[in-house]
Structure 1
């Protein structure tokens, strides 16, 4: 008799440079986990290549779903379908969500159909909306570390260049013409701010779930460190940014002499992420807000100082809740959960 699957792992950007390696690492170490990978284009070469690589590992349960993180409708439709599939036992409960997808841009972009900066929506609002909309699909918790599920948000060192009010200031300032090239400093601040806001909002969500919910959901950020290989930088990135990335890739063997985390192949953080995702949590570690940088663990507030300011974090949570409200209309249970969290 075949061993039944015991959980579903969702990875956004599942065919990306890091997301695909995370999928491979999980497929190797967790043969009875259903892999549900999200990609904007499910017919692209990278998806076919990833399927072929996983087939070589052995029999695995895997599917790829088309989801555009720059569209609330796409995110909500996927989440609603996934909740229904879990409830009908078509797939196992979601035990893991890894928000790996991210974009950066060094030009002024047209806002999305939902009215937001595409970097902000893709990197911050969409992962938040996806997490909240999947609450009914996560394994129901029993209040113990092993009774719940995990959401791992992929962070980066660029968060130190970001600010919580970056996109508020963008809305207030005069918009530059679409296609205007941004400096490397401005583009870095834009990307870093989107990641900082995502992490802070997710920790705020975790606090609210602890206080108001009965779902054991551990949410934390993991910084994979510097990575060599294909990046999310667009061809419109300033030459200095593209050259810096190429230089770091070429210097990787030398940088590694001084620091193991200075520059790694994507397989290195992918294995760490897969290990952290399925390691057994103690009551102590589950109860803390933690932040991982590769294999090292820190208190989240030591990396994201704003977490020490509860009123500001609560205001951020309510703000993001309002921004995604349109995305959960018609979702039923998830919408009611958002209403309860927003009412805090």
Structure 2
């Protein structure tokens, strides 16, 4: 290419049905962006096929690297390695971090090596951990409105069924034998709770960063709506759940009024995500929540955002989990004032 790269976009779950379409959408509209995709198994055929598909669009800078969200040491190593690559100018600073990877399970699972429910760790702990771990790479931006960065968490309407305290009981341990089949309701609450916790924790992190003004970083959740097609998302899902997950449960009256409940191919939300990802940075604006490219006040969707003390408590708890890792957090994060 005759022009230097302007930023790095990291997409977790980059070889998944949605993650791969996001990569394609960005490759089509942002030719001077470095695409850094992560996958648990980057040498699989689907990853190779994605590289070929993007190469057909034109000359693009792209790589798929290994990242196991069920292993926080893997997350730590990836974050530190990425920061060093940004510092050495091997890759440009991170302009977007898109948390697309997710897992749902309808069976009782063994805890991860880090001691967490794997659904909770993959969907909540690891995305938060990775965001904090990469802050130094975001900091490398020039601090101007156009030089700011975004963290986009891919949410889901199932968060409306979630509970903030779901994983508190005995650190989320289920006393039933591994492999025990969960009901559709249990599995949905488990998945929804992990997505709800991640969204709220990341908004709390956004508030803390905004209060210090040290990093130009916007953070928000984007609900891609219902998607048709194969997905790596679910394990052990009963038929009723597989069908139900192709429709969107309501997040509240305000959202049900919006005609965004049709089932789309993954390429449709991917285009919306790519569009939102490259909007002008707006850290100073109120907290936002997106459904496709429709913009809403985040607190109108996630009522917990109006509870300052709850937000602070969750941020402190999540930061303690980060600091309890082998490497710890590269920056100091303090809860934002309760004036939000």
TM-score normalised by length of structure 1: 0.90
**How many angstroms apart in 2 are the aligned matches of 1:11 and 1:124?**
15
CA distance in 1, matches of 2:334, 2:64: 31
Unaligned runs of 5+ residues in structure 2 are: 249-257
| 2:105 is aligned with 1:73 | no
For each residue in 1:103-122, what CA deviation from the matched residue of structure 2 results, as whole angstroms up to 9, or x when unmatched? 00001100000000000000
1:42 is paired with a residue whose SS is coil
Per the alignment, in what secondary structure is the counterpart of residue 5 of structure 2? coil
> Could you tell me which residue of structure 1 aligns to residue 291 of structure 2?
293
Residue number in structure 2 paired with 1:341: 334
- Counterparts in 2 of 1:172 and 1:26: CA distance versus 1, 3 Å: closer
Q: Secondary structure at the match of 1:166?
A: coil
Sort the Cα spacing of 1:234 and 1:343 in 2 relative to 1 into closer, same or farther, 3 A: closer
Partner of 1:9: 9
Matches within 5 A, 1:28-177: 28-140=28-140, 144-169=144-169, 171=171, 175-177=175-177
Q: Distance in 1 between matches of 2:98 and 2:235?
A: 26
Whether contact under 8 Å (2:109, 2:179) holds in the other structure is yes
Report how many aligned residue pairs link the two structures. Answer: 328
Shift of 1:26: 0.4
Q: 1:143: how far off?
A: 5.4
Match of 2:313 in 1: 315
Maintained 8 Å contact 1:39/1:66: yes
| Residue 109 to residue 311, structure 1, CA distance change in 2 (3 Å) | same
Aligned equivalents of 2:194, 2:172: Cα separation in 1: 17
- Whether the aligned pair in 2 keeps the contact of 1:141 and 1:214 (CA below 8 Å) is no
CA distance in structure 2 between the partners assigned to 1:49 and 1:174 by the alignment: 38
Stretch moving more, 219-228 or 174-183? 174-183
Cα contact 1:222–1:294 (8 A) shared by 2 = yes
> Which sections of structure 1, spanning at least 5 residues, go unmatched?
250-257
Relative distance call for 1:286 and 1:278 in structure 2 (3 A) is: farther
In angstroms, what is the RMSD of aligned CA positions?
2.2
